[in-house]
Amino acid sequence: MMKRMIGFLMLLVLLVGCANPLVEERPYNGMMNPRMENRNSMMNPRTENRNGMMNPQDGNRNTHMTLNNVGPLEASKGLNALKIPEVLEKATDSEYDYEITAQIGSTEFFEGIQTETFGYNGDLLGPTVRLRKGETVQVKINNELDVPTTVHWHGLEIPGDADGGPSHLISPGESKVVTLKANQPSATLWYHPHPHGNTGEQVYKGLGGMLYIDDSDADEAIYPNEYGINDFPLIFQDRQYDENSQLNYNQVMNFDGTIGNISLVNGTIDPVLTVDEPLIRLRMLNASNAREYTFRLSNGATFKQIASDGSRLIQPVEMKEIILTPSERVEVLVDLSEVDLNETVAITDEFGNTLLPIERAFNSQETKEIPEMVSEEIFLSEEEKQLPVTKEIELFGRMNMVTINGRKFDPNRIDLRQEQGVTEVWEIYNRPDMMGGMTHPFHIHGTQFKVISRDGIEVSPNEQGLKDSVLVESGERVKLLVSFPEKGVFPFHCHILEHEDNGMMGLIEVY
């Protein structure tokens, strides 16, 4: 009841806030609930070109309001060495290759205080799982939580029954063995729970980990590839702690996306990354429930983006900022060889707040030569660009009134069907509401798609790689080229976890 009241009040505030599109920022005044005070949800229309391309070719179309830009995170004071998740070891003498246990733990985020958290094979987050391209492995999943869970392999193109979607619940105390086949390009994917109605809470409490698909050693060696040395996983999340420093999801839950004021990178508060080589590769994942990030480098240097969610880009793209909506990933290279050692370098958000300071402890200034990859490949053929739309998806609503094609998730209803291996064009339309609407990150299981266009305009080079999640702004129409290599029933949904939990999800049967 209380939640509903808050929801209604927020709706009112939004209504007032959005009445004048020229008003750039309008912070809530937090009168509706003291808990929300430090949330400071100002709504910023995007002022920059999407993804901060160096040479934008696509004009200024980012004028829509978004609720996802919700005010600054507290800057990292750089007090704690960034934790690097361990790489999951292969089991040697058992029938399965890997074992992953979802468990309850506790984490000392604040000195002397234990916070209850969830983790895989540990207290918080999970180990990095690395699969070799083409490899098939058996993974045993154990649920030692006191609630049902699943493990979903986000971005992996595997049959529906191994996907770990909402219909694959594992009860407390139970286990399940799944077969994963890495039959796709090398990429940075991830894994996380997916029990319908509880995904938001379980991720918030700490469940999630990286899943890499590795190329052959020779191909991987083109870029820095020493894990934790010059190739770093960066899992970005935001949290709000209660008065006892606990992650009290029910207290902070927001139907339009639970956000926090504290930034975590790999579960570390106030992190600092120390590097001893000038050229580093960062694999950045937005694993927040709802927050959208705009990353920049504090010294104005650029990121060289080499990969999107599911593959390398056609060619590396210089980016002065990187926008990631929930569940999106990029791989970027950062070259620090030219930066004066006295100058501070950090990854910041769009407000200039430091999220991750980078400390340099170089042994040498030597930097690896990165071949200028000029790929012959074309991203989309003329034929592909001309394909007619055969699936229309309409995203609509706010709070717990979110829908896809006018309906909420029903585990017993198949919403769409598509033939295995047959390419279709999906058009995702984010229908605005009276208040302007909000951005939804749209995700499809079991496929890596290509983004054909946004409102008819070809996408920027930094989106010219395979993807499984895509930002769709309010009022925007995004065309995707989609094919499913495997059969089964797969969810598609908004990756704001509270929208997903409230039914902004459908099912497609691949036959």
* Identity of the residue, 270 or 498, whose beta carbon is nearer to Cu ion in the bound complex: 498
Choose which of 291, 312, 360, 445 interacts with Cu ion (CB under 5 A): 445
- Find which of ligand C2O, Cu ion, none residue 440 binds, CB within 5 to 8 Å per kind: Cu ion
Q: Which H helix or E strand runs over 275? A: strand 271-275
| DSSP three-state, residue 371 | coil
User: What separation in angstroms does the CA of 337 have from each of 220, 232, 383?
Assistant: 22, 18, 43
Picked from Cu ion, ligand C2O, none, the partner binding residue 493 (CB below 5 to 8 A depending on kind) is ligand C2O
The residue to which tokens 């010294």 are assigned: 299
Closest residue to Cu ion in the complex (CB): 494
Q: Compute how many residues bind Cu ion; rule: CB under 5 A.
A: 6
Instruction: List the single partner that 39 binds among ligand C2O, Cu ion, none, CB under 5 to 8 Å by kind.
Output: none
For residue 496, state whether it binds Cu ion (rule: CB under 5 A): yes
Does 494 bind Cu ion (CB under 5 A)? Our answer is yes
Which CB atom, from 205 or from 440, has the smaller least distance to Cu ion? 440
**Is the CB of 283 or the CB of 440 nearer to Cu ion?**
440
* Least distance between ligand C2O and beta carbon 467 (Å): 13
Pick 190 or 249: Cβ nearer ligand C2O: 190
Amino acid at 85: P
**Least distance (Å) between residue 199 CB and ligand C2O:** 8
Rounded least distance, CB 403 to ligand C2O, Å: 17
In single-letter form, the type of residue at position 58 comes to D
Residue with tokens 């063995």: 177
Q: Of residues 141-160, which lie at the interface with Cu ion (CB under 5 A)?
A: 154
Cα Rg, the chain, nearest whole Å: 21
CA-CA distance, 487 to 418, in Å (whole number)? 9
Between 398 and 495, CB nearer to ligand C2O: 495
Q: Does 398 bind Cu ion (CB under 5 A)?
A: no
CB of 290 to Cu ion, least distance (A): 8
Distance of alpha carbon 296 from alpha carbon 319, whole angstroms: 9
Find out whether 192 and 206 touch, Cβ atoms under 8 Å: no
Q: Which does 499 bind (CB under 5 to 8 A by kind): Cu ion, ligand C2O, none?
A: Cu ion
Beta carbon nearer to ligand C2O, 26 or 154: 154
Exposure string over 157-177, b if 16+ CB within 10 A, otherwise e: bbbbebbbbbbbbbeeeeebe
Whether residue 460 contacts residue 58, with contact meaning beta carbons closer than 8 Å, is answered with yes
Name residue, tokens 């985020």: 109
What is the smallest separation between the CB atom of 400 and ligand C2O, expressed in angstroms? 18
- Is 495 a binding residue for Cu ion by CB under 5 A? The answer is no
SS3 at position 352: coil
- Run of H or E residues at 131: strand 129-132
Handedness of CA 54, 58, 63, 64 (dihedral sign): negative
| 196 near Cu ion, judged by CB under 5 A | no
Which of the listed partners (Cu ion, ligand C2O, none) does 196 bind, with a CB threshold of 5 to 8 Å by partner kind? none
Cβ at position 68, least distance to Cu ion in Å: 9
Q: Kindly state the helix (H) or strand (E) to which residue 143 belongs, with its residue range.
A: strand 136-143
Minimum CB distance to ligand C2O smaller for 396 or for 442: 442
What token pair was written down for 338?
């030219």
Q: Where does this chain bind ligand C2O (CB under 6 A)?
A: 152, 154, 192, 194, 327, 443, 445, 491, 493, 495
Q: How far apart are CA 238 and CA 236, in angstroms?
A: 7
Applying CB under 5 A, which part among 279-287, 333-341, 445-453, 455-463 lies near Cu ion?
A: 445-453
Q: Which listed residue (196, 304, 329, 499) binds Cu ion by CB under 5 A? A: 499
- CB-nearer residue toward ligand C2O: 26 or 495: 495
**Sign of the four-CA dihedral 219, 222, 226, 231:** negative
Q: For Cu ion, give the closer residue by CB, 208 or 260.
A: 208
Distances (CA, A) of 123 to 104, 182, 251: 7, 27, 22
The contacts of residue 2 (CB under 8 Å, 6+ apart) are none
Q: Smaller CB distance to ligand C2O: residue 127 or 195?
A: 195
Distance CA 138, CA 230 (A): 29
Residue 198 or 327 with smaller CB distance to ligand C2O: 327
CB of 505 to ligand C2O, least distance (A): 8
> Among all chains, which residue has been given the structure tokens 């071949």?
371
* DSSP alpha helix (H) spans, 360-477: 382-386
Residue nearest to ligand C2O (CB): 154
Q: How far is CA 88 from the centre of its chain?
A: 21
Closest distance to ligand C2O from the beta carbon of 318 (Å): 28
Tell me how far, at minimum, the Cβ of 38 lies from ligand C2O, in Å: 28
Residue type, 433: D
Closest approach of Cβ 267 to ligand C2O, in Å?
A: 18
| Closest CA relative to residue 373, chosen from 313, 426, 418 | 313
**Residue 211 or residue 496: which is nearer to Cu ion going by CB?**
496
Q: Confirm or reject binding of residue 360 to Cu ion (CB under 5 A).
A: no
Least Å from the CB of residue 492 to ligand C2O: 8
Positions in the binding site for Cu ion (CB under 5 A): 154, 440, 445, 494, 496, 499
